[in-house]
Amino acid sequence: MSAARGTANYEYVTSRVRSRRASLFDADDYRKLVRMGPGEIARFMEETEYETEMNALGSRFEGVDLIEYALNRNLAKHFDDLLNWADGALYGYLARYLRKFDAWNVKTTFRGIYSDADPSEIEDDLITAGELSETLLSRLVDAGSIEEAVDLLDGTLFADALDEAYELYEQESLLVPLENAVDRAYYADLMANLPSEPNRAEELYLQFLRAEIDFRNLRNALRISRSGADIDPAEFYIDGGRLFDATTLRQLASNPDELVARVRESVYGDELDATLDALAEADDLIAFEHALDAALLSYSDTLSNRYPLSVCPVLAYVLAKEREVDNVRAIARGREAGLDPEEIETELVIA
Amino acid sequence: MAKEVKPTRKNLMAIEDRIELSERGHDTLEKKRDGLIMEFMDILDQAQEVRENVDDQYQRAQRAINMARAMEGDVAVRGAASALKEHPEITSESKNIMGVVVPQIESSKVQKDLDERGYGVLGTSARIDEAAEAYEDLLETIILAAEVETAMKKMLEEIEKTKRRVNALEFKLLPDLYSSQEYIEQKLEEQEREEIFRMKKIKAKKEEEEDADHLTTDEEEETEEPLTADD
């Protein structure tokens, strides 16, 4: 992975991203895939750009597990390419965003160590699309205890948050504080050190991230509200969004109708209007989360169409690629579980 | 059995006591059996309901986890599952239903709040919550099913045992006792009749002897009288 250097090369990266984006599966491919069994899906993937990963992992995994691991490895390869192409500020934005995979890897490692899983099994579950080096990941996986893993992360963006959360972990023996600290550190880093008067590129980057944070806050507030648990939603509030601050979120979470009304009046109102109606009627949080994913994808596309030479098309590609991976995995797992093609189709988010 | 009993009045009285006790025991056991059956029918209804719930909730939980694996990925679901080491606590006490000791299983820490499931809230989704919740519901129902099914099994064993006792009393012990009682009564009557007959015989013999004695005395008297007159 290259470090940020020189000036941002938006033209070069966006043109390469356009070509990559064109090779993503389209609606026709999904229509074909949902009618295939897991074996046929695997064969189909062997004839696409997933061929290398399918062949490389074919001797270790089989069935839908093979598909899932190949999808993850391919995702990591593509995002690694993006970081290799990007320079300057663009690299910085991308790297920050892709650190979500670092967060994923840290949480996966903690969970593995916590449950005494075999290091090789933990390693299989990592998605090496972030910035943490393979050496560090490998040492993390081999760590004998959570404490050792937290110490190894010293010097990373997660260090301070984990140091604070570790005391709570010791008291409660639950991973919740550590996992929340990792996610919170990731979101804090996303928005950190951006100038108070951002330029156009930074403004677009912020606009995209704020939408993601707003949607994350919204879904978490609704989850907490629906769970009926006595949890303060502000504890899980992520700073940096446009829609809520911690106090507003605390007030609105106790009154989901007001929360929905607030979103309806917001800049996302038009995008989420139909979904909010469905949420109010059917009370289906999963469908709503699904719609939020689709809305974020669509919002990123809108931004990238409006500003084609910016960070937006690159971030939109990141989301679209993740969505492709999610869709193919959903089809394969859904078919494995015996779900109807029509049922699977309703779960897909197609850009 | 009847032939093994000595036909004495003492044994007859002992058998009559045993008959009375057995009849009382038989009535009590019959009532117990009927009571157990009624209790069992209630538990059976409950067990059927719980079994249906286990089936439904298992289907729901399987579907929820399949959907979570499909939408979030197997790795994410396995990861979320491994973020909790604490096991639910199950304690077992016992309660008494008509003399049958059945378990009363209490569970705690099965249903968990969102922030007690081990995985972080910020980086997970409602799909994983739904799967976790569905399995928590299923586990609660399985614990209830274990309690109800064990109670049902124990009740059934007790009903069987009571039925065997009732049947043993009704078809074996009581008939044997009645037969012994009848045997002894017959024997005693027979002995009585024999005794009466013997007494009669003795009496008759005595009378005969007495009659014979009288006759002899008379004859002797008759023989002696003319001598005295002639003299």
**Please, what are the averages of pLDDT over each run of 10 residues along chain A (351 residues)?**
69 94 92 92 93 94 93 95 92 92 94 92 91 92 94 94 93 89 91 78 82 88 81 84 85 80 83 74 76 82 85 92 93 91 85 65
Contact A229 B78 (CB under 8 A): no
pLDDT of residue B61: 95
**CA atoms A57, A59, A61, A66: torsion sign:** positive
Long-range Cβ pairs for the range A64-70 (8 Å, 24+): A64/A38, A64/A332, A64/A333, A64/A336, A64/B74, A65/B74, A66/A42, A67/A38, A67/A41, A67/A42, A67/A328, A67/A329, A67/A332, A68/A329, A68/A332, A68/A333, A68/B73, A68/B74, A68/B75, A69/A124, A70/A45
Instruction: Please check whether residue B21 touches A, CB under 8 A.
Output: no
Identify the residue whose tokens are 């917001």.
Answer: A266
pLDDT of residue A206: 85
Q: Are residues A86 and A9 in contact, defined by beta-carbon separation less than 8 angstroms?
A: yes
Q: Which of A183, A219, A347 sits opposite B120 (nearest CB)?
A: A183
As a whole number of angstroms, the distance between CA B105 and CA B151 comes to: 11
- Residues B108-152 have pLDDT tens digits of 888 888 888 888 888 888 889 999 999 999 999 999 999 999 999
pLDDT of B1 strictly over 70? no
pLDDT of residue A258: 83
Set of chain A residues whose Cβ sits within 8 Å of the Cβ of B115: 176, 229, 231
pLDDT of residue B152: 92
Taking residues B65-84, what's their average pLDDT?
89
Q: Tell me which residues of chain A, numbers 151 to 210, contact chain B at a CB-CB cutoff of 8 Å.
A: 173-176, 178-180, 182-184, 187
Instruction: Please check whether residue A241 touches B, CB under 8 A.
Output: no
pLDDT of residue A1: 44
Closest CA to A48 of A14, A71, A64: A71
pLDDT of B225 strictly over 70? no
Window from A257-266, B5-14, B39-48 with minimum mean pLDDT = A257-266
Contact B123 A183 (CB under 8 A): yes
Contact A334 B66 (CB under 8 A): yes
- Per the prediction, chain B carries an average pLDDT of 89
Instruction: Please check whether residue B196 touches A, CB under 8 A.
Output: no
Which token pair is B107? 């569970």
Q: Are residues A340 and A327 in contact, defined by beta-carbon separation less than 8 angstroms?
A: no
pLDDT of residue B182: 92
Here the ipTM equals 0.83
Instruction: Please check whether residue A339 touches B, CB under 8 A.
Output: yes
pLDDT of residue A71: 95
